[in-house]
Structure 1
């Protein structure tokens, strides 16, 4: 158990990826301090408290992204911090208040606490492929590629804009304050859910089953939540880990997902005309290199297994309508 005797903090712990990070950390023997907006809201925290090892090595802390010093108690004495807390919203009326401020200021608030906490050896920041960009199809996207914030602002792609600013701000602050920061950039995350609510990336799968095709489908890349969570932990544990890590299966497209869903769960998929004709799903708009991620020892869960586990867990949690 790599984490025995080590204490780490996971922010936004009730979220999809974060819940799995907490689960895997506990399995590996870590003591986990998990921040949530309201520890008393059992509907949102019950699944964490029921995890294996939670009764002995998990403690919940109240924290708010917009409140400076809010993470001090949870991070005090920690060996590492996994900062996953950030809003995932695509339809907003006030992007500054709903997305940008919590993403950017929340990252700064967490890092300010880490900067004054001498025990913290490394911080893992959850970003997104939204900040790596989707350039010319002839360009291979790797960790050196960055999305254009000004273009996202112009196109009103507020989620991508918030992730770009949060990552840039976090990296700049870390460099100026001597913080060892590693950034994780996952794509559209699927796989079994632990939390009791339907999150955005899983909702994409539900939409596909209902015959609805997301816009910009050619830009989507998929990855299993268990692979993403393990990658976060490996980025903390492997001494040589540094910089950014793109976490997507480079060979799986929206078309592959759509086809597999109809093969695996034909009784749950509504008839649509996406497989043929004018609504045919787009192919990849660009290529991705994940050699750096594989250097952490991450192997991708087969997409068929991910989809099966996704749907089974949604049915078990009564999240499939």
Structure 2
């Protein structure tokens, strides 16, 4: 069990969609937090974190770059735990350049942790797609499964190869090194309110629904997890030793894209937002894929159910998941509140944003 009062967590990717929620949850739980960022001078990115409750008392910043190994020694020193959240997530999942960054970045962070005697555990944020992509869609997937790299887009490859690098690293600790514990969390399609103005993949997806930037939605089903639950899972992983050495899928339930669009439409139509809810036929998606790399990468998912076993998260971490419908509604309100989606004249905030 972690001694919260005297424990410090290094969180990289702290200004991102997931990282910011990890920082918020850690501060609320009483931990000291060191946020690793590319630049401590970028006030625009740092301000949302500085505005969090308890930030003035227990939050500090340090500069570190995934591809600069010498920056991580000073970043981890004096910390007890590390949340490795940072990983490139382009809109175009076919961008091969991200693989090197993900793999080398993970190795650089772990190497620094192995040289730091105070680090007790590292929690890595992987991806649910690492277990299922390219495999038999009729199967219910669990943590024993791995994506088929022969047909996976670059983003999935980057997550799989980085995770395998991590497991190989801890299985082959050199003599005299700090043998910290490792847990890899595998969140699926992440939804929920954003604390920053960063447009992560899912943020852009829901933004496009609210701004009607797309004519319709593909017939694709996503296993969903709330971003607040991802932050919560990181904290639970360091207080629960039974999660040591485990891969843990994070998914509440699956929804078809059309079902998600209808939830957004039902909540925001009264405020003047017109959300597309009709499904785009496969032939049209196929043609569109020649002009949009993201559409091309997701074509193999069209029409297939996504079934994942989340029992390990419930049993080991004792997770009680936020339902996707709430995630979508809270997310939409946060996008409007932050100005990522323009507020309509009829819009009236229905939710206290400070409680998201």
Q: TM-score, normalised by structure 1?
A: 0.91
Answer whether contact 2:219 2:303 (CA < 8 A) is retained: no
For 1:78 and 1:100, how far apart are their aligned partners in 2? 28
How many residues are aligned here? Answer: 314
Per-residue Cα deviation, 1:149-202 (whole angstroms, up to 9, x for no partner): 2332xxxx1111111111111111121124311001111111111112322111
Per-residue Cα deviation, 1:234-269 (whole angstroms, up to 9, x for no partner): 011111113111111224332321221121112313
Aligned counterpart for 2:326 among listed residues 287, 305, 308:
305
For 1:36 and 1:216, how far apart are their aligned partners in 2? 37
Distance 1:208 1:239, change over 3 A: same
Answer whether contact 2:140 2:309 (CA < 8 A) is retained: yes
- What SS does the corresponding residue of 1:145 show, helix, strand or coil? coil
Q: CA deviation at 1:288?
A: 0.9
1:171 aligns with 2:167: yes
For 1:318 and 1:167, how far apart are their aligned partners in 2? 35
- Residue 106 of structure 1 corresponds to which residue in structure 2? 105
For 1:212 and 1:2, how far apart are their aligned partners in 2? 52
Q: TM-score, normalised by structure 2?
A: 0.82
- What SS does the corresponding residue of 1:149 show, helix, strand or coil? coil
Per-residue Cα deviation, 1:96-144 (whole angstroms, up to 9, x for no partner): 3xx0121011100000001111111110001101211232133110111
For 2:256 and 2:3, how far apart are their aligned partners in 1? 34
- What SS does the corresponding residue of 1:14 show, helix, strand or coil? coil
Per-residue Cα deviation, 1:47-79 (whole angstroms, up to 9, x for no partner): 111111111111100001001121111211211
- Residue 125 of structure 2 corresponds to which residue in structure 1? 126
Q: CA deviation at 1:92?
A: 7.3
Answer whether contact 1:123 1:179 (CA < 8 A) is retained: yes
Unaligned stretches of 5+ residues in structure 1: none
Answer whether contact 1:123 1:180 (CA < 8 A) is retained: yes
1:245 aligns with 2:248: yes
For 1:253 and 1:53, how far apart are their aligned partners in 2? 38
1:1-321 alignment runs, 5 A limit: 3-91=4-92, 95-96=96-97, 99-134=98-133, 135-152=135-152, 157-177=153-173, 178-209=179-210, 210=212, 211-212=214-215, 217-218=220-221, 220-242=222-244, 243-266=246-269, 267-271=272-276, 273-274=278-279, 284-295=304-315, 296-321=317-342
Answer whether contact 2:27 2:55 (CA < 8 A) is retained: yes
For 1:118 and 1:139, how far apart are their aligned partners in 2? 42
For 2:112 and 2:233, how far apart are their aligned partners in 1? 24
Answer whether contact 1:221 1:254 (CA < 8 A) is retained: no
